[in-house]
Chain A
Amino acid sequence: MRIAQRILTPVVFGVLALAVWQLLVVALKIPPFVLPAPLAVGAVFQLQLPIVGNGMLITGLNALIGLVLGTALGVVGAILAAFLRAIDELAAPLVTALSVVPIVALAPVLYTMYGAGAQTARQFIAALAVFVPVYVTTLRGLRQVAPVHRDLLRAYAATRWQATRAVTLPGAVPYLFTGIRIASSLSVITALVAEYFGGPVNGLANAITSAAANSNFTLAYAFVLGAILVGLVFFVGGLLLERLATRHSIT
């Protein structure tokens, strides 16, 4: 019941907002270059589905590859940092730097490195953006062993490796998935924004730019809708994964 309510409320609100938007555009005769009507955007989206869908696929795939790669790097990095002090000390300033620098700013440099025809630069940038929250949350999880569990393993005279396997690693899993949830939206945003800085011209952001340049604003909004859908898929996916991983974590 409560879940239905939690989903229903924003959906009703969203539909209402769209209806008001539609009414305003029609009633005030707002021209499409100022604000296209949602129904018109929907119609174009449907009409141009193959093109929009292709853009969604390309941007979505870049984000996904970035998410997987960044998560793998983040997890390995966090495990190394948790068990080797030297790595932790070396990585700390680097990760801080990565977390304050807008990572897309690296895009132009990477495009020249990998060549403008490849998606690699975008995937790599998305991976870097993903790496930061995954690394930070996983490392926190690895360090957050409850004192009672520490005592328990000492009472059992467990070896360091046994303690790691029995408590430290499984205890960090919920944290890892919180990191992935945060990173999933970030990967889409980063992959999308990176497209504005160059590279191949077949992603969603490229399509938005060229549709707007051709004064086809309704089409531009149709691509924006596509971007929102990709973002939503990643967000919901991340949320569900987190739910799954943390379902037993409260004692």
Chain B
Amino acid sequence: MSAAVRVRGATKTFPGRGRAAGVTALENIELRVEPGQFVSLIGPSGCGKSTLLRLVADLDRPSAGSIEVFGDPAAKARVKQAYGIAFQQAGLLPWRTVAANIRLPLELHRFPPARRHARVAELLALVGLEDFADRYPDQLSGGMQQRVAIARALAESPELLLMDEPFGALDEMTRERMQGELKRIAGETGAAVVFVTHSIPEAVFLSDKVVVMSPRPGRIVDELPITLGTGSAADDVRESEAFFRQVSAVRELLHGVPGAAPRGVDLR
């Protein structure tokens, strides 16, 4: 079976404007995500995490190298709707209700109209927003908007979910609850996930594999497989010795990079 995502030697250079020099955002990236695997990308701000995700989603083209999604070139995979995507801003359509926002991909892709209603109800239940179907995005909290965006990304049961810091704007409490929900959803749907984050504990808690990136030009420093006791409650996992050990391991990788910036600091 082909990998969910296969990135080979991907480089991305943004041309400079006017006299400004071009920016090499990514250099020679190699990445493999197996079907059903949860992979987090972590690295200092500006290291090209979003850019890498956009390349996989075919929202941008690599300057060199190749990207395959389930064995297809990224462009073909996008047309085939091989993935669902959630952005850092929820990106809901403000003039549509919650239900209509979740329905959008179903409408665009001619999902049988008779089954749309049931599917939307299912998704609303999945993200715990059954009572908010007829609300508008401006009537929801940031966390609820984010859940709508996740439901929308899941609408067509994609085998691959791309998420760019979906919990970035949330408070710690909501964030931990959402992490738990995402982990459950990913487990239930069996989708592979590529998850961009700034938070080490978040990456360790959610992932099967954490990919650590270096400051610009973005390279992959190392990949760390994560093993936490499965089946135990989320809070227990977060307080387990294995969890702390692997959080430290990721932190050392992040900070151990020669010239690495502390987390969240851009070196421009």
Residues of A within 8 A of B (CB): 146, 148-149, 151-152, 154-158, 162, 166-167, 170-171, 173, 248-251
* B interface list, Cβ under 8 A from A: 54, 57-59, 78-79, 81, 83, 85, 87, 89-96, 104-105, 107-109, 136-138, 145
Residue pair A155, B138 in contact (C-beta under 8 Å): no
For the A-B complex with A152-B91, A250-B138 known, give 7 more contacts whose Cβ atoms are closer than 8 Å.
Answer: A146-B91, A151-B57, A154-B78, A157-B81, A166-B93, A166-B104, A248-B138
Known contacts: A151-B59, A248-B137, A251-B138. The answer to whether A167 contacts B108 by CB under 8 A is no
Alpha-carbon gap, A251 to B101, bound state (A): 13
Q: Which residue on chain A has the smallest CB distance to residue B57?
A: A155
Q: Which residues of A contact B79 (CB under 8 A)?
A: 157
List 19 A-B pairs, Cβ < 8 Å. Answer: A149-B93, A151-B59, A151-B87, A154-B59, A155-B57, A155-B83, A156-B104, A156-B105, A162-B108, A166-B104, A166-B107, A166-B108, A248-B94, A248-B136, A249-B94, A250-B94, A251-B89, A251-B90, A251-B94
Which one of A151, A154, A162, A170 contacts B95 once the chains associate, using CB atoms below 8 Å?
A170
CB-defined contacts of A251 to chain B, threshold 8 Å: 89-90, 92, 94, 137-138, 145
* B108 / chain A contacts, CB cutoff of 8 Å: 156, 158, 162, 166
* 3 residue pairs, one from A and one from B, having the closest CB atoms: A148-B91, A248-B136, A157-B79
Contact of A155 with B78 in the complex, beta carbons under 8 Å = yes
The residue of chain B having its C-beta at the shortest distance from the C-beta of A158 within the complex is: B108
Q: Which residues of A contact B136 (CB under 8 A)?
A: 248
Taking CB atoms, residues of chain A closer than 8 Å to B137 are 248, 251
- Contacts A248-B136, A251-B137 hold; do A155 and B85 have CB atoms under 8 A apart? yes
Docked-complex contact B95 and A248, CB < 8 angstroms: yes
CA distance A173 to B78 in the complex (A): 30
With A154-B59, A157-B79, A157-B81 as contacts: A149 and B104 at CB distance below 8 Å: no
Q: Which residues of B contact A152 (CB under 8 A)?
A: 85, 87, 91
By a CB distance below 8 angstroms, the chain A residues around B87 are 148, 151-152
State A152–B95 Cα separation when bound (angstroms).
Answer: 16
CB-CB under 8 A from B107, the residues of chain A are 166
Distance of A202 from chain B, by nearest CB (Å): 43
B5 to chain A, nearest CB (A): 15
CB distance from B85 to the nearest CB of A (A): 5
A232 to chain B, nearest CB (A): 29
| B97 CB → nearest A CB, Å | 9
Most B CB contacts (10 A, CB to CB) among A157, A158, A249, A250 go to: A157
- CA A167 – CA B93 in complex, angstroms? 8
The docked-state distance in angstroms from the alpha carbon of A246 to that of B85 is: 27
Determine if B95 and A173 form an interchain contact, defined as CB atoms under 8 angstroms apart. Answer: yes
In the complex the two chains form, what is the Cα distance from A2 to B90 in whole Å?
Answer: 31
Q: How far is the CA of A171 from the CA of B93 in the complex (A)?
A: 8
* Contact A149-B95, Cβ < 8 Å, known A156-B109, A166-B108: no
CA distance A148 to B166 in the complex (A): 13
Residues of A near B83 (CB, < 8 A) are 155
Residues of A within 8 A of B96 (CB): 170
Please, which residues of chain B bring their CB within 8 A of the CB of A146?
91
Q: Are B94 and A155 in contact (CB under 8 A)?
A: no
A245→B31 CA distance, assembly (Å): 46
Bound CA span A225–B109, Å: 57
Chain A residues with CB below 8 A from B145, complex form: 251
